Amino acid sequence: MTDSCANYFLIGKNKKPETKVEVEKIPLVREAILTVLKEDKEYWKKLELKQPGMEKYILLRKVCDKVPINSNVFEAAIWELETEQTVLTFQDGNLTRYVLFGIV
């Protein structure tokens, strides 16, 4: 016979890891996102090619190089930029891509 109470006590003592959204970093992250996307747009313009948009995790990596963050802060900043219609999001197969919105 096994005692099921042991599992209850083990689960109760383990604390879940906490993830916090560093709200104060959102303006810095927004600026970093815009900078990276502007650089990408200029790169494709110099090559005289259509900008394919930057894939989400490549954008996240480049932003993290500029501002050390977690993905929660990135998602909050992207959401704000999408809401302002500064950045457009679109699906390319399984990938999520981002481009700066601008009327030419």
Q: Work out the average pLDDT over 58-77.
A: 92
Residue 50 in domain = yes
Query: By the 8 A CB rule, do 51 and 99 touch?
Result: yes
Residue 43 in domain = yes
Residue 3 in domain = no
**Which pTM does this prediction carry?**
0.76
> Is residue 19 predicted with pLDDT exceeding 70?
no
Which span out of 12-21, 63-72, 95-104 was modeled with the highest average pLDDT?
A: 63-72
Query: By the 8 A CB rule, do 26 and 67 touch?
Result: no
Predicted local confidence at residue 103, as pLDDT? 57
Based on the structure, what is the number of domains in the chain? Answer: 1
The domain that holds 51 is classified in CATH as 1.10.10
Nearest by Cα to 99 from 61, 50, 63, 27: 50
**What residues are paired with 54 via a beta bridge?**
98
- Where are the strands (E) in 1-104, listed by range? 54-55, 87-92, 95-100
> Is residue 101 predicted with pLDDT exceeding 90?
no
Q: Which domain holds residue 60?
A: 20-100
Q: Which residue has the tokens 């500029």?
A: 66
